[in-house]
């Protein structure tokens, strides 16, 4: 085994990708690689890419351009492009940018071990891997308090705007025992919070065990104090899940439930398989069962054929539901998706105007909701320190809190909120 090699890895996109990076670093760590923070110090450079919107792909391409000179200086340097853009572009990317050595899609990251030892003659690894969910890879985790755990890979939903079914393939659930085993080990290592990961966690199934029963089993793992999950699809959110969330102490009072749009016409064109009324009903279920639950969401503006009156329905939805926070995006046509080919594409100026309006409205709502927390006691899991050296953590509702005292990461404390901002809270330790 060669020792002492250095890897630089840059990650784009979602938590799924961030966790894949932890797994890539796990594999490479076992091979003697250490992570470095600058490309020029590396023997191996990896870009773990995202393809969800045009902007994400552009960012990756410009990062790639910035390291071209390093390859010229050091022909031994290896460059790997992994992730969703790698999967989508495959061979084409290699033809376009010949200084890339290997292309590895998300289904094939386990091969990296052999690839770096030059065990293959081909350079593109984007084939489907039906066994992905059965592979347990070493993980080098960034955090010591909270950990991500994959439960389901891929997606079968085919929302018409979304590239994910083409980049991460068909839905495959991980075996129950592997998940439980991984979480038990995390608990032994001192992890306090786990976030279950999947494009649509609600579709999880292994034999008789569905997502709510998986959560019930995780509730019993000693040492773990908090359980979160992302992402849920509104069409699959069941009353059974709501009841389990209500009854399991460890499941945090937060759900990320992407609505995407408020107009039924647009939801239909998006193939979301729910109406605004269906969505609203689930919000009522959640809020009835779990008072104080935080609900966050994703919004797309400027989807093809979105008229002013459709957009107004999104605005109406934001006002009616009052999310705790949202991520909002301009529709970005992705090659291979149905929405990219729809008539009635919206000009960028209108998309930008709508995005600004959505964000401005949500800022007001978020600020107003956070203000209501001033003077209230919140349970905070301490995660570490911020740049200024203040202790920081998160509430069960996933809001960031800055605490005025020095507390060890991993501790759970009650905090009285003294000040609220749009994106964070401040508070002091509360003693009865």
CB atoms under 10 Å from CB of 95, counted, come to 10
State yes or no: residue 362 binds ligand 5AD (CB under 6 A). no
Binding mask 94-133 for ligand SF4 (x = CB under 6 A): ----------------------------------------
Name the residue with the smallest CB distance to ligand 5AD. Answer: 298
Binding mask 42-61 for ligand SF4 (x = CB under 6 A): --------xxx---------
The neighbouring-strand residues paired with 73 are none
Binding mask 139-178 for ligand SF4 (x = CB under 6 A): ------------------------xx--xx----------
Q: How far is CA 372 from CA 210, 286, 411, 425, in A?
A: 36, 20, 25, 11
Binding mask 239-278 for ligand 5AD (x = CB under 6 A): -------------------x-x------------------
Q: Which of 7, 16, 94, 346 binds ligand SF4 (CB under 6 A)?
A: 16
Q: Which of 257, 279, 329, 399 binds ligand 5AD (CB under 6 A)?
A: 329
Between CA 204 and CA 199 the distance in angstroms is 10
**Strand 152-153 relative to strand 146-150: parallel, antiparallel, unpaired?**
unpaired
Report residue 154 as tokens: 């891929």
Q: What are phi and psi of 142, to 5 degrees?
A: -75, -35
Between CA 152 and CA 286 the distance in angstroms is 23
Site for ligand 5AD in 159-198 (CB under 6 A): 161-162
Between CA 246 and CA 288 the distance in angstroms is 10
Residue 24: CB minimum distance to ligand SF4, A: 13
CB atoms under 10 Å from CB of 289, counted, come to 15
State yes or no: residue 351 binds ligand 5AD (CB under 6 A). no
Residue 400: CB minimum distance to ligand 5AD, A: 20
CB atoms under 10 Å from CB of 176, counted, come to 18
Work out the angle between the directed axes of helices 211-219 and 176-188 (0-180°, nearest 10): 30
Question: Which residue's CB is nearer to ligand SF4, number 16 or number 196?
Answer: 16
Size of the site for ligand 5AD (CB under 6 A): 12
How many residues can be counted in the chain? 432
Q: Can you say how many angstroms the Cα of residue 278 is from the centroid of all Cα atoms in its chain? A: 25
Question: Which residue's CB is nearer to ligand 5AD, number 195 or number 332?
Answer: 332
State yes or no: residue 339 binds ligand SF4 (CB under 6 A). no
Site for ligand 5AD in 299-318 (CB under 6 A): 300
Question: Which residue's CB is nearer to ligand SF4, number 108 or number 167?
Answer: 167
Helix H segments across 39-169?
Answer: 54-66, 68-73, 83-96, 112-115, 164-167
Name the residue with the smallest CB distance to ligand SF4. Answer: 13
Query: Quick one: DSSP state of residue 79?
Result: E
State yes or no: residue 93 binds ligand SF4 (CB under 6 A). no
Between CA 170 and CA 255 the distance in angstroms is 24
Binding footprint of ligand 5AD on the chain (CB under 6 A) = 52-53, 161-162, 258, 260, 298, 300, 329, 331-332, 334
Name the site residues for ligand SF4 (rule: CB under 6 A).
Answer: 13-14, 16-17, 50-52, 83-84, 163-164, 167-168
């Amino acid at each position: 085994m060669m020792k002492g090699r250095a890897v630089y890895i840059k990650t784009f996109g979602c938590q799924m990708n961030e966790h894949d990076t932890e797994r890539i670093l796990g594999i490479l760590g076992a091979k003697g690689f250490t992570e470095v923070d600058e490309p020029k110090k590396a023997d191996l450079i990896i870009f773990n890419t995202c393809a969800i919107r045009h902007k994400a792909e552009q960012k990756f391409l410009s990062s790639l351009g910035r390291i071209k000179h390093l390859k010229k200086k050091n022909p031994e340097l290896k460059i790997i492009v992994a992730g969703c853009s790698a999967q989508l572009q495959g061979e084409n990317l290699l033809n376009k940018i010949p200084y890339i050595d290997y292309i590895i899609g998300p289904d094939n990251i386990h091969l990296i071990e052999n690839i770096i030892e030059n065990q293959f003659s081909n350079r593109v690894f984007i084939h489907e891997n039906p066994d992905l969910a059965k592979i347990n890879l070493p993980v080098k985790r960034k955090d010591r308090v909270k950990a991500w755990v994959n439960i389901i890979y891929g997606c079968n939903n085919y929302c018409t705007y979304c590239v994910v079914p083409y980049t991460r393939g068909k839905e495959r659930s991980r075996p129950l025992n592997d998940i439980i085993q991984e979480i038990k080990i995390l608990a032994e290592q001192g992890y306090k919070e786990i976030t279950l990961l999947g494009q649509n966690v609600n579709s999880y199934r292994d034999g008789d065990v569905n997502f709510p029963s998986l959560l019930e089993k995780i509730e019993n793992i000693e040492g773990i104090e908090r359980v979160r999950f992302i992402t849920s699809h509104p069409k699959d959110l069941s009353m059974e899940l709501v009841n389990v969330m209500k009854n399991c102490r460890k499941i945090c009072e937060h759900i990320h439930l992407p609505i995407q749009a408020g107009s039924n016409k647009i939801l239909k064109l998006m193939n979301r398989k729910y109406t605004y009324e269906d969505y609203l009903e689930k919000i009522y279920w959640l809020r009835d069962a779990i008072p104080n639950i935080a609900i966050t969401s994703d919004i797309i503006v400027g989807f093809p054929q979105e008229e002013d009156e459709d957009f107004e329905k999104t605005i109406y939805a934001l006002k009616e539901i009052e999310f705790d926070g949202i991520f909002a995006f301009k529709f970005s046509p992705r090659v291979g998706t149905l929405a990219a080919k729809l008539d009635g594409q919206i000009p960028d100026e209108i998309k930008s105007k709508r995005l600004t309006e959505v964000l401005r409205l949500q800022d007001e709502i978020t600020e107003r909701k956070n203000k209501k927390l001033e003077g209230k006691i919140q349970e905070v899991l301490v995660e570490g320190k911020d740049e200024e050296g203040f202790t920081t953590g998160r509430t069960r509702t996933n809001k960031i809190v800055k605490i005025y005292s020095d507390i060890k990461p991993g501790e759970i404390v009650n905090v009285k909120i003294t000040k609220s901002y749009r994106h964070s809270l401040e508070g002091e330790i509360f003693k009865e």
